Chains A and B, each alone.
Chain A
């Protein structure tokens, strides 16, 4: 499979199939190859490699996912946000915060995905960030409040002060 994916003269559908299969089988040794494929010129191959990399859920490529947040394909950028949420850990959380609070180039869809990704973290990590989003991002307020209600089982509205009061 790695040989097929690597071979630039190979038929595109077979290279894409190999990228998918390597991810599905969680072949960690293929991570570097998949990362290179994400930056391939062909958008379909890029997508399949990103999909494969996403299925690996490898912590070893966390830094690569942070770079992929700047990928020219929007679907791949969103996949990168999702991957950060699945991998977890403090470095991924920093990147997700940066997306939510405009500290790195991002768009609305990436921010929505980042909100979703935050909910993969523990309540004590996720709740303060979601309350901060309520305070700072009117556009994301309603979605953030929905996630807050979901993870806390509290029937509190969309107002940040109410949530802040509950949390203290």
Chain B
């Protein structure tokens, strides 16, 4: 899941325990959080703001370094009120192990029932990501599920085999799984990539775009 420099995430309502949010960066550029702590805010005015603590020694370094994770702990959030947390980062990040209570940018819950598959999709291990993509493709093909965000994001993955698996898999989906709505969704994603002018996204998508021609001509 690729975020822009400032991304809002909704954090789910069931905070009986601190929730570790783990990030990794698959990109070549190191980043640091621009702030060492962030505040939450609530739609409910009676609820006080809370600080989310960030390990002050946290520095995310180059791709492939296993000790580069950053832990953001939502300590002190014992509330049942849904909050939004503004993450201030100076380069894109990807969720590594999404918590079941975290709701993605698109509003789709990464629920516990999908956690194993999603764990693969967000893994640092390329083969695991490929398996995750294949699992999503099967679900779309066999159960007529809408295209998941993660399958679209896989088109811009840093690994060529993940990208190719996703793109050729989408290419070979049956028309029943790629109806007008799915085609529109794919088209919107591709347009948003190119309109972003972000070379980190455009270059990988450029690679696999010809696979998608079947669904994007309209």
Interface residues of A (CB under 8 A from B): 1-4, 11, 13-14, 16-18, 20-22, 24-27, 29-30
Contact = CB atoms under 8 A, between A and B. Distances in A.
B149 to A, nearest CB: 19
Contacts of A1: 187, 190-191, 216-218
B210 interface: yes
Of A1, A2, A3, A30, most buried by chain B (CB within 10 Å of CB) is A1
B191 A25 contact: no
A98 to B, nearest CB: 34
Contact of A27 (B190, B191, B206, B217): B217
Given A13-B195, A14-B191, A21 B209 contact: yes
A26 B218 CA distance: 13
A4 B192 CA distance: 12
Given A14-B195, A18-B191, A24 B206 contact: yes
Given A3-B218, A14-B195, A30-B217, A25 B187 contact: no
Contact of B216 (A13, A14, A20, A25): A25
A11 B194 CA distance: 13
Of A4, A24, A29, most buried by chain B (CB within 10 Å of CB) is A24
Contacts of A20: 194
A21 B206 CA distance: 8
Contacts of B193: 17
Given A1-B187, A4-B187, A26-B210, A21 B216 contact: yes
B212 interface: yes
A25 B213 contact: yes
Nearest to A19: B194
Contacts of A13: 195, 197
A21 B190 CA distance: 8
A22 B210 CA distance: 9
A163 to B, nearest CB: 41
Contacts, number: 47
Contacts of A14: 191, 195
B191 A4 contact: yes
Given A4-B187, A30-B217, A25 B212 contact: yes
Contacts of A3: 218
A125 to B, nearest CB: 31
A27 B4 CA distance: 31
Contact of B209 (A4, A11, A25): A25
Interface string B178-218: 00000000010011011101000000001001101100111
B213 A27 contact: yes
B215 to A, nearest CB: 10
Contacts of A11: 195
A29 B195 CA distance: 22
Given A24-B210, A25-B210, A25-B216, A17 B194 contact: yes
B191 A17 contact: yes
Contacts of B187: 1, 4
28 contacts: A1-B191, A1-B216, A1-B217, A2-B217, A4-B187, A4-B191, A11-B195, A13-B195, A13-B197, A14-B195, A16-B194, A16-B195, A18-B191, A21-B190, A21-B194, A21-B209, A21-B216, A22-B217, A24-B210, A25-B209, A25-B210, A25-B212, A25-B213, A25-B216, A25-B217, A26-B210, A27-B216, A29-B217
A27 B216 CA distance: 9
A13 B197 CA distance: 9
A10 to B, nearest CB: 10
A17 B188 CA distance: 11
A159 B175 CA distance: 63
